[in-house]
Amino acid sequence: MPSSFAAASPRHLIIPLLCFLSAIPSPAVAAAPPRGYYINCGATKEESIDGIPWIPDEGFVNGGNVSKINAPGILPLLSTLRYFPDPKARKNCFVIQVSKGSKYIVRTTYFYGGFDGGKEPPVFDQIIDGTRWSTVDTTQNYAAGLTTYYEIIVAAQGKTLSVCLAKNVNSSSGSSPFISGLEVVSLENSMYNSTDFSDYALSTIARHRFGHDGSAISYPDDPFNRYWQSFIDANPVVECHSNISSPEFWNFPPPAALMNALTTSRGKELHVNWPSFDLPDTSYYIALYFQDNRTPSPFSWRVFDIEVNDKAFYKGLNVSAEGVMVYGSQWPLSGKTKIKMIPASDSPVGPVINAGEIFQIIPLGGKTLTRDVIAMENIARSFTNPPPDWKGDPCLPKENSWTGVTCDVNGSFARVAVLNLTNYGIAGVLSDSMGNLTAISNIWLSGNKLTGEIPEMGNLNELASLRLADNQFTGPIPSFLAKLPKIQEIFLQNNNLSGPVPESLKNRSGIDLRIPQGNQVEI
Ligand SMILES: *[C@@H]1O[C@H](CO)[C@@H](O)[C@H](O)[C@H]1NC(C)=O
Ligand SMILES: *[C@@H]1O[C@H](CO)[C@@H](O)[C@H](O)[C@H]1NC(C)=O
Ligand SMILES: *[C@@H]1O[C@H](CO)[C@@H](O)[C@H](O)[C@H]1NC(C)=O
Ligand SMILES: *[C@@H]1O[C@H](CO)[C@@H](O)[C@H](O)[C@H]1NC(C)=O
Ligand SMILES: *[C@@H]1O[C@H](CO)[C@@H](O)[C@H](O)[C@H]1NC(C)=O
Ligand SMILES: *[C@@H]1O[C@H](CO)[C@@H](O)[C@H](O)[C@H]1NC(C)=O
Ligand SMILES: *[C@@H]1O[C@H](CO)[C@@H](O)[C@H](O)[C@H]1NC(C)=O
Ligand SMILES: *[C@@H]1O[C@H](CO)[C@@H](O)[C@H](O)[C@H]1NC(C)=O
Ligand SMILES: *[C@@H]1O[C@H](CO)[C@@H](O)[C@H](O)[C@H]1NC(C)=O
Ligand SMILES: *[C@@H]1O[C@H](CO)[C@@H](O)[C@H](O)[C@H]1NC(C)=O
């Protein structure tokens, strides 16, 4: 295990179990809770926690089992979880209705609580749409009595967003991925908009308000329920005499997050070693927030330069009481990070820094062609007992495609190439949407309990092998079969088909055509 990940846990943020959310004042006259979904996994009823209505996860997920965590004083969100014991499931997805193109902050919360009778939490992956987001390893936090959460900002690529858990090569056998809470909150368009969300997501590494200790703030201070952890070091702290106006900032930082600042005396450089853990060597989005703490006046401003790890980040920043944000949209970081603020030579006051955010830039893992996704979803619906992992992206990530589904990447899209559920015990009918999987080459569904007619699939120009033997299909042997340009084998034996074999099909040479006695067909 790379030590940078193990010791410092840079990919996730920690919150103490017992004060998780509890320090947030209950809103008396608060704004409406941020638009989104607050899903309390394993819960049986809706419950309002500090002004946010948490709903049960039923309806967002297929399968999985529920466990109650009994610990004295446990917070309601952590008192139930859902886990996924099925070893055959290639992923276990929550699917949420979203608005295509909109931006969301997604947070997953994990508190193990020994639900499986073990001592250490299972280790597994989390996946968002077709992208492997991160490993979920809560071992160290759990040992320290802490809850773990992860956050990512993504744009909805379609009308749904999926968040999935999957075992990986490091998951111990017999262990089950689990989750306590899932939040999907809608963000404003301007937020973090220097990132191209059609190709990237931003995974939260750190979000801190400087000059505070104690617990984090979130909703209602932050209308998007972002968590702003406290950060304090040996630098002097000042308190601001005015509030910023959040909407003036593209990222909408809440005034409460900028209320205090770290500073230093006149003429001196301000050095802040933040975040306090080592970072893996990659690219980050960095946003820093500043506000002059003095009472607003024409003279309450100061000018300084900013360096990050001794590289110029911003020159001659003028910070007034209205506040200002500076960001780097793709900044390389590795190991320790030092933010250095160097005052202008004539500045009568030292630099200040109030808050900061760092996100790791995650390249998206690609997309499955929407037409194929819709077709596969319709096919899943027409089966009465689809495999448990038939939810979320059918193709991606590649190692976590749906059971029986193999895909090819054609240009920028993944396409369904093989559907193979031979002898899987599937019942139901075969959806008409089969005919929309225009890149498919093999359909192997022999040995199931499928009923109804064989749907029209005359557009499947790549189809080479169609095996539907040993089912309960009824109706005629369709004539489109003869038109498939690449077809080599058609297995229809042991069904309940009727009527003649179309002349055109009989005429095609070079096809392995099996339609024996089981069918009532006239050859
Ligand atoms: C599994 O663990 C090894 C060693 O710690 C690590 O290098 C590797 O990245 C891990 N694989 C996954 C998929 O997490
Ligand atoms: C999980 O739930 C399923 C269906 O409700 C049940 O058959 C199975 O035994 C449960 N598994 C465990 C480990 O409790
Ligand atoms: C981000 O949003 C702000 C405010 O709406 C706008 O002025 C700016 O041009 C946007 N930037 C990008 C890269 O879209
Ligand atoms: C900032 O806003 C908060 C909440 O609206 C208010 O309680 C506080 O007094 C304000 N602070 C200043 C310095 O205006
Ligand atoms: C900094 O901004 C203030 C207004 O907020 C302005 O009055 C002042 O001249 C600026 N200072 C410099 C050096 O640009
Ligand atoms: C990608 O798909 C298009 C249309 O379906 C097809 O014409 C093209 O040959 C495919 N390309 C590859 C590399 O498979
Ligand atoms: C379908 O699955 C069976 C059993 O897993 C395997 O033997 C067969 O090769 C697969 N066929 C295709 C076309 O992938
Ligand atoms: C096939 O796809 C087209 C457009 O992509 C859609 O209009 C049609 O309804 C789909 N057909 C089926 C049977 O799903
Ligand atoms: C098979 O088809 C015949 C006539 O279409 C029908 O009478 C019979 O009930 C069907 N059998 C099954 C098992 O579906
Ligand atoms: C099948 O082939 C025969 C002779 O080769 C031809 O007369 C007939 O029209 C063909 N039928 C169809 C449906 O293609």
Mutate to test the pocket of ligand 6, among 370, 410, 415 (most ligand atoms within 8 A of CB): 410
How far is the centre of ligand 8, averaged over its atoms, from the C-alpha of 444 (Å)?
Answer: 22
d(CA 296, CA 355): 19
Kindly state whether residues 240 and 356 are assigned to the same domain.
yes
Provide the pLDDT for residue 410.
76
Tell me which ligand sits closest to the C-alpha of residue 220: 4
How far is the centre of ligand 3, averaged over its atoms, from the C-alpha of 194 (Å)?
Answer: 7
Residue 121: inside a domain, yes or no?
A: yes
Q: Report CA dihedral (184, 185, 187, 193) to the nearest 10 degrees.
A: -30
Provide the pLDDT for residue 5.
24
Ligand 8 atom showing the smallest separation from residue 432 Cα:
13
Domain residues for the domain of 445 are: 367-522
- The domain that holds 374 is classified in CATH as 3.80.10.10
| pLDDT tens profile 82-107 | 999 999 999 999 999 999 999 999 99
Ligand 10 atom showing the smallest separation from residue 507 Cα:
1
Kindly state whether residues 178 and 116 are assigned to the same domain.
yes
Kindly state whether residues 379 and 350 are assigned to the same domain.
no
Residue 197: inside a domain, yes or no?
A: no
Closest protein CA for atom 10 of ligand 2: 65
d(CA 157, CA 396): 14
How far is the centre of ligand 10, averaged over its atoms, from the C-alpha of 514 (Å)?
Answer: 20
* Cβ contact 519:493 at 8 Å: yes
Kindly state whether residues 216 and 309 are assigned to the same domain.
yes
Tell me if 503 CB under 6 Å of ligand 10.
Answer: yes
Provide the pLDDT for residue 271.
98
Provide the token pair at 388.
């448990």
Tell me if 329 CB under 6 Å of ligand 7.
Answer: no
Provide the pLDDT for residue 510.
87
- The domain that holds 285 is classified in CATH as 2.60.120
Provide the pLDDT for residue 361.
97
Ligand 4 atom showing the smallest separation from residue 241 Cα:
13
Kindly state whether residues 169 and 242 are assigned to the same domain.
no
Kindly state whether residues 68 and 121 are assigned to the same domain.
yes
Tell me if 442 CB under 6 Å of ligand 7.
Answer: yes
| pLDDT tens profile 168-216 | 999 998 899 999 999 999 999 999 999 999 999 999 999 999 999 999 9
Kindly state whether residues 385 and 409 are assigned to the same domain.
yes
Q: Pairing state of beta strands 237-239 and 260-263?
A: antiparallel
C-alpha 254, offset from chain centre: 24
Dihedral sign, CA of 21, 27, 33, 37? Answer: positive
Kindly state whether residues 59 and 181 are assigned to the same domain.
yes
Helices (H) and strands (E) in the chain, counts: 4, 37
Task: Give the containing element (helix H, strand E) for 3.
Answer: helix 3-8
CB atoms within 10 A of CB 25: 11
Tell me if 472 CB under 6 Å of ligand 9.
Answer: yes
- b/e map of 443-459 (b: 16 or more CB within 10 Å)? bbbbbbebbeebbebee
Count of domains observed in the chain:
3
Tell me if 474 CB under 6 Å of ligand 9.
Answer: yes
- The residue out of 343, 363, 383 marking a domain boundary is 363
Residue 198: inside a domain, yes or no?
A: no
Residue 76: inside a domain, yes or no?
A: yes
Ligand 5 atom showing the smallest separation from residue 322 Cα:
5
Kindly state whether residues 218 and 351 are assigned to the same domain.
yes
Kindly state whether residues 482 and 455 are assigned to the same domain.
yes
Closest protein CA for atom 3 of ligand 3: 190
What is the arrangement of strands in the sheet containing 311-320, beginning at the earlier edge strand? 270-273, 338-343, 301-308, 311-320
Tell me which ligand sits closest to the C-alpha of residue 83: 2
Residue 458: inside a domain, yes or no?
A: yes
Give the residues surrounding ligand 4 with Cβ less than 6 Å away.
241-243, 255
Kindly state whether residues 87 and 135 are assigned to the same domain.
yes
- The domain that holds 81 is classified in CATH as 2.60.120.430
How far is the centre of ligand 5, averaged over its atoms, from the C-alpha of 331 (Å)?
Answer: 28
Tell me if 410 CB under 6 Å of ligand 6.
Answer: yes
Tell me if 173 CB under 6 Å of ligand 10.
Answer: no
- The residue out of 311, 331, 363 marking a domain boundary is 363
Q: Pairing state of beta strands 442-444 and 465-467?
A: parallel
Closest protein CA for atom 2 of ligand 9: 496
- The residue out of 316, 348, 363 marking a domain boundary is 363
Low-confidence ranges of the chain (pLDDT < 50): 1-30, 523
Kindly state whether residues 301 and 377 are assigned to the same domain.
no
Ligand 9 atom showing the smallest separation from residue 498 Cα:
5
Kindly report the CA angle at 416 between 411 and 422, in degrees rounded to 5? 155
